[in-house]
Amino acid sequence: MTNLYLFVRRYLTVLLVFATLVSFAQQTVSGKVTGADDGSGIPGVNILEKGTVNGTVSDAGGNYRINVGANATLVFSFVGYASQEVSVGSQNSISVSLEPDVTSLSEVVVVGYGTVKMSDATGAVAAVRSEDFNGGVISSPEQLIQGKTAGVQITSTSGAPGAGVNLRIRGTSSIRSNNNPLFVVDGVPLAGGDTPAAANVGYGSSQDSNPLNFLNPSDIESMSILKDASATAIYGSRGANGVVLITTKSGKGQKGTLEFASSLSVASAAKRFDLLNASEFLDGVTQFGGDRVAQNFGAQTDWQDYILRTSISNKQNLSYSKSFKTGSLRASFGYEDQQGIVKNSSLQRLTGRINGNKSFLDNKLKFDLASTFSNVKREDPAIGNAGFQGDLLGAAYSANPTWPTDPDFNTGGQRSPANMLAYYRSTGSNNRLLNNLSATYKITGALSAKATYGLDYSVAETNTVASGKAINGGNGVQGFGQAQLNENRSLNNLVELTLNYNKTVGKVQIDAVGGYSFQSFNNRSFFASGRGFTDFVNFDNMQTELRNSYEAGNSAAEGNFSGTINNWGISNDLRSGAQTSGGFVSGYDAGSGAFSQQYFARPAGVSLAAVGANFFNTTDFLQSYFGRSNFTISGKYLITATLRVDGSSKFGSNNRYGVFPSGAFAWKMHDEDFMPELFSTFKLRAGFGLVGNQDGLGYGEFIRRDRYANANVGDARQIDVPGVATQGSVNPTLKWEQTSQFSAGIDFGILGDKLSGSLDYYVKNTTDLLLRANAAQPAVATQIFTNLDATVENKGWELALSYSAIDKPDASLTFSGNVSHNTNLLKDFGGALDAGTINGQGLSLAYAQRLAGGYPLFSYHLREFQGFDATGQPIGDNQTFVGKSALPTWNMGFSINARYKAFDLATYFSGQFGQYIYNNTANAFFTAGSINNARNVTRNVLTAGEAGSAEAAVSTRFLEKGDFLRMQNFTIGYNVPMKGQNFIKKLRFYGNGQNLFLITSYTGLDPEVSSAPASFDLLNGLPTAGIDYAAYPRPRTFTIGLNATF
């Protein structure tokens, strides 16, 4: 201790003396650095004496002081601002005002575990900042950047509020798993936290909601998209589908600013089907030999009108932002109420967010906190996967237009949309807290350490209720009622430690980061279902009765069992058990390894005829070591090397750890003498890397686990007392799906970056594809997860261009666009698996796609439709590959941004080309067989020449080109000129239109669609794409809004 103290004292003394000596020969300059945008001081600006290593940084107020040699030039640089050089001359005081940097190539982008100047990036990285985000009604952050970046295909699965979004970066590489990228919010990789989908109470289950719904789009500062393996390798096993980094806004400006934003939107369906009206329908029935008198129920109902509405949505945001001497703070509060254009669909989001940071010890120690709390409430109508019967939309398309809209009208067999709207309710609520607390300590000027703790906790609940007045719903519902309560609690904990090292040694600038990360993902969930309600009509009473019966049943079950409970059930009709009525509870004792099942008497508080509950509690872990080094040599040669080692609890010990390396190189050729002056920017990039994917792989699949099979309440309010069933399949050889990617590109700018852009080429190969395949029987599980010996290849190119035609203080005009081409191919696969589940009456087990080697994923395998024969029967009954796929080969986005004095205008077009859509809606509903069965159809069916007795088998008759070009977004704004020191500093009014027009030859409602069947309905566990089965109609939305800054 003493020795150390003496050593340090001596060392420091020498250093101080040396520094003092050096300073004697120099001139002192001081001043203040401010931002041209708000005039406040900017802390942390790098001030460097040009050509030397002598430099300093500005303090919290933007003030600086530096000693410089004679004839010095100072370079002021700070992320997000254009660098400025000032010749010192004899000045002792130099204050500068830095202009915010808006040219894309000098932007600073967030990459994993750090930031990089766009001009220094070696990988394929794109960033979209808040000022470029799409406007209007945005329910999920991905929609903010739809069409904005090359090679990124963003498709809403439907027009429902809060619907899922499919985001594909450089094609589709997995055959089974979720192909969405990894989302990282302020450094916390997200996992799960979705609201449970509506349960099946006779109407099918709904699609999962979007997991990013919890974020208020207004809180987002920027989104970075890491596209190639050299950029995503820092996320190793989760980087295969690309990574989207979301950075939220933080406090800015010395004077506190209060911002208020408010908008009001009106939406209606952009397109409807051309269905027969009442008299045309009766004529149609007659044409096909039906009895028009028997089918005439007297009313004239437009069922599309009946279920659709003009929806009104509003959004309010309030935020306060301020930077202090040693920190900054931003707090925001947002409320949004989105109505869907189908009745009974809505999304309400309440969010609160605090971002703050505070420095101590002369800025050596800095704490950052980013915290979001959100409550998202949803209501969904009976829309989703209802198999052959169809959902609310299907019911509306095929409903007899002479039926009255009385919900209690009994159609005699078909489902009435009025009955479905009135007697089904699904509501969900999700409370979510996302917290990220970090401490950064600057150990030396070059070395800093950072510790991060991230917490993502969500409690989500969905209540699905079918009233006992539901007619033609599920079996055993009428007169009894059925309801289900699903609850998910997910807790995702992240601990991360990183070391950053920045040093310039001679001509080499080193920027390195290394770290350790441990993340745990706990999911605790249960579902409780009940039938036989005391009051089977009132939704609220039913929901309460299920909750009360669940609570009473649960406490009785817990009282009769010590250990982990898998399930319990209470019914007057227990089957296959040791008792025929009352309650049972099943579970195990982890200590002794014993399973047991206990019986108990029906508890007093259980008023339902039958109630059962099943419990799940799983935790997965991911432990990682990672490092990345950037070397910049002579300012123009850039080398990046990245390595991540991930260990996952989803694999057996032999394959638990995966190693994911990457390397990339960039050359700023514009700094070379031989490059013509024309190029203000010309940078070559090339990189290669390996990344992994473990998504879609369930819990504990490599090991064999046992638990009691689910206790389900049956149609007759009975419960089959469950036995012990095997869960995992023993596959210790299971390993990561692996994607290797080669990527090369050019970033260029000419005429001072007036025209700038980038061109990229990539080849991606995904191997060891995770698939749930049939096991070699006899096997404990019918299907086991395996790594398929095949390769999915995606290759393509991307071009992004931006042209600043006018750039003047009171006028500007920018055109930007991107286009990308991708080809997808499955190689080296010997088998053939049916996929592309088709639904509808008479279409059970029908499929439209097949997975086979030599074809792209989602390739259609259909009967070639050759018209109808003389008797009206379709010709052709042999399914073959038809050479078409659901994957688009071309994606494009185009935008124009203009500003003239106080007015601004922005418009956006997006398009996808080359993909084919299977019109399952027409296949299931709009055929002669439907009108022959007295179901309503579109007008064209009457003249198609099809016999009423014809089978509507899957065929190319329903396959259509999906090419489209959409005017996605149009905004016009007016900034009220503010003079002097007004209370209001900025005020802007705007109008926005979304989905204003669509150019397509597709005859369905919208070609941008993907109806995902329930997971148990997926043939061979393979996902579908490009199939349109009664998709939620896409709205056309008009918004007016104002933004005010105080």
Partner 1 sequence: MEMKNNNKTKNRLIAPFLIFAFLLNSCSLDIDETDSLITKGESGVFNGVPNPAGSLSNIYNDITGQAGDQAGLYALTEVSTDELLVPTRGTDWGDNGIWRTVHVHTFGPTHNFVTQVWNDKNGAVLRCTEVIDPLSNATVAQVAEAKFARAYNMWIVMDFWGQVPFRNPKDGPDVTPSVLTRQEAYTLIVQDLTDAIVGLPAGVPAATNKLRPVKATARLLLAKVKLNSIVYNGAYGSTDLDDVISLVTSIEGEGYGLVGGNYFNLFKGPTYTNIDVIWNVSAGAGNRMWNSLHYNQSHPDNTGGGWNGFSTLAEFYDKFQGPAASNSIGGGQEERRGYTHTLATTNATNLGFGFGFQFGQMYGMSGVAPVALKDRTGKPLIFTKEFAESGLIGNNETTGARLLKYSPANGGFTEGVVMARFADAHLMRAEAILRKGNAGSALIEVNKLRALRANTPPLASLNEAAMLDERGRELYTEGWRRNDMIRFGVFKAARQFKPAGDGHTDIFPIPASAILSNPGLNQNPGY
Q: Which is nearer to partner 1, 305 or 869 (CB)?
A: 869
User: Residue 368 CB, nearest distance to partner 1 (Å)?
Assistant: 16
Binding of partner 1 at residue 194 (CB under 8 A)? no
Binding of partner 1 at residue 965 (CB under 8 A)? no
User: Residue 713 CB, nearest distance to partner 1 (Å)?
Assistant: 13
Binding of partner 1 at residue 674 (CB under 8 A)? no
Q: Which is nearer to partner 1, 793 or 946 (CB)?
A: 946
Binding of partner 1 at residue 953 (CB under 8 A)? yes
Count of residues interacting with partner 1 (CB under 8 A): 130
Q: Which of residues 587-616 bind partner 1 (CB under 8 A)?
A: 588, 590, 593-597, 616
Options 86, 128, 190, 471; binder of partner 1; rule CB under 8 A: 471
Binding of partner 1 at residue 954 (CB under 8 A)? yes
Alpha-carbon gap, residue 617 to 1042, rounded angstroms = 46
Options 618, 740, 889, 1003; binder of partner 1; rule CB under 8 A: 618
Binding of partner 1 at residue 944 (CB under 8 A)? no
Binding of partner 1 at residue 17 (CB under 8 A)? no
Q: Which of residues 532-571 bind partner 1 (CB under 8 A)?
A: 564, 566
Q: Which is nearer to partner 1, 157 or 517 (CB)?
A: 517
Alpha-carbon gap, residue 929 to 184, rounded angstroms = 50
Binding of partner 1 at residue 186 (CB under 8 A)? no
Q: Which is nearer to partner 1, 374 or 841 (CB)?
A: 841
Q: Which of residues 494-513 bind partner 1 (CB under 8 A)?
A: 497, 499
Q: Which is nearer to partner 1, 69 or 479 (CB)?
A: 479
Binding of partner 1 at residue 843 (CB under 8 A)? yes
User: Residue 783 CB, nearest distance to partner 1 (Å)?
Assistant: 8
Please give the single-letter amino acid code of residue 780.
V
User: Residue 750 CB, nearest distance to partner 1 (Å)?
Assistant: 46
Binding of partner 1 at residue 52 (CB under 8 A)? no
Alpha-carbon gap, residue 1017 to 1025, rounded angstroms = 14
Please give the single-letter amino acid code of residue 491.
L
User: Residue 560 CB, nearest distance to partner 1 (Å)?
Assistant: 17
Binding of partner 1 at residue 853 (CB under 8 A)? no
Binding of partner 1 at residue 877 (CB under 8 A)? yes
State the binding string over 753-792 for partner 1 (x if CB under 8 A, else -). --------------------xxxxxxxxxx-x--------
Q: Which is nearer to partner 1, 133 or 281 (CB)?
A: 281
Binding of partner 1 at residue 727 (CB under 8 A)? yes
Determine the 3-state secondary structure of 235 from DSSP: helix
Q: Which is nearer to partner 1, 175 or 269 (CB)?
A: 175
Options 621, 631, 742, 761; binder of partner 1; rule CB under 8 A: 621
Q: Which is nearer to partner 1, 115 or 727 (CB)?
A: 727
DSSP labels, 90-159? T-SB--EEEPBP-SGGG-EEEETTEEEEGGG--S-EEEEEGGGS--S--SSGGGGGTTTSTTEEEEES-S
Long-range contacts of residues 538-544, Cβ cutoff 8 Å, at least 24 apart:
539/425, 539/465, 539/467, 542/465, 542/467, 542/481, 542/483, 543/463, 543/465, 543/483, 543/485
SS3 track for 180-212: CCEEEECCEECCCCCCCCCCCCCCCECCCCCCC
Q: Which is nearer to partner 1, 310 or 774 (CB)?
A: 774
Options 950, 998, 1014, 1031; binder of partner 1; rule CB under 8 A: 950
Q: Which is nearer to partner 1, 544 or 873 (CB)?
A: 873
Binding of partner 1 at residue 945 (CB under 8 A)? no
The stretch among 351-359, 424-432, 442-450, 795-803 that binds partner 1 (CB under 8 A) is: 442-450
Binding of partner 1 at residue 359 (CB under 8 A)? no
Alpha-carbon gap, residue 316 to 1044, rounded angstroms = 12
- Cβ proximity of 595 and 588 under 8 Å: yes
- Cβ proximity of 332 and 216 under 8 Å: yes
The stretch among 176-184, 617-625, 670-678, 891-899 that binds partner 1 (CB under 8 A) is: 617-625
Give 26's contacts (C-beta < 8 A, 6+ positions apart).
Answer: 67, 68, 69
DSSP state, residue 699: T
Strand partners, 630: 511, 640
User: Residue 702 CB, nearest distance to partner 1 (Å)?
Assistant: 6
DSSP labels, 563-604? SEEEEEEEES-EESSS-SSEEEEEEEETTTTEEEEEEEPPPT
Q: Which is nearer to partner 1, 285 or 1030 (CB)?
A: 285
Q: Which is nearer to partner 1, 285 or 460 (CB)?
A: 285
- Cβ proximity of 248 and 186 under 8 Å: yes
Taking Cα atoms as reference points, which of 356, 366, 361 lies closest to residue 328?
356
Identify each DSSP E strand in 809-902 by its residue range.
Answer: 811-827, 832-838, 846-852, 859-863, 879-885, 890-900
- Cβ proximity of 110 and 245 under 8 Å: yes
- Cβ proximity of 28 and 49 under 8 Å: no
Q: Which is nearer to partner 1, 786 or 802 (CB)?
A: 786
- Cβ proximity of 674 and 704 under 8 Å: no
User: Residue 954 CB, nearest distance to partner 1 (Å)?
Assistant: 7
State the binding string over 394-433 for partner 1 (x if CB under 8 A, else -). ----------------x-xx--------------------
Binding of partner 1 at residue 705 (CB under 8 A)? yes
- Cβ proximity of 322 and 254 under 8 Å: yes
Binding of partner 1 at residue 698 (CB under 8 A)? no
Binding of partner 1 at residue 982 (CB under 8 A)? no
Place of tokens 């959409």: 966
Binding of partner 1 at residue 999 (CB under 8 A)? no
* C-alpha distances out from residue 442 to 16, 451, 453, 631, Å: 20, 12, 18, 21
Binding of partner 1 at residue 8 (CB under 8 A)? yes
Taking Cα atoms as reference points, which of 802, 777, 115 lies closest to residue 502?
115
Place of tokens 């029906």: 602
Report CA torsion sign: 1030, 1031, 1036, 1041. Answer: positive
Tokens of 951: 């089978």
User: Residue 496 CB, nearest distance to partner 1 (Å)?
Assistant: 10
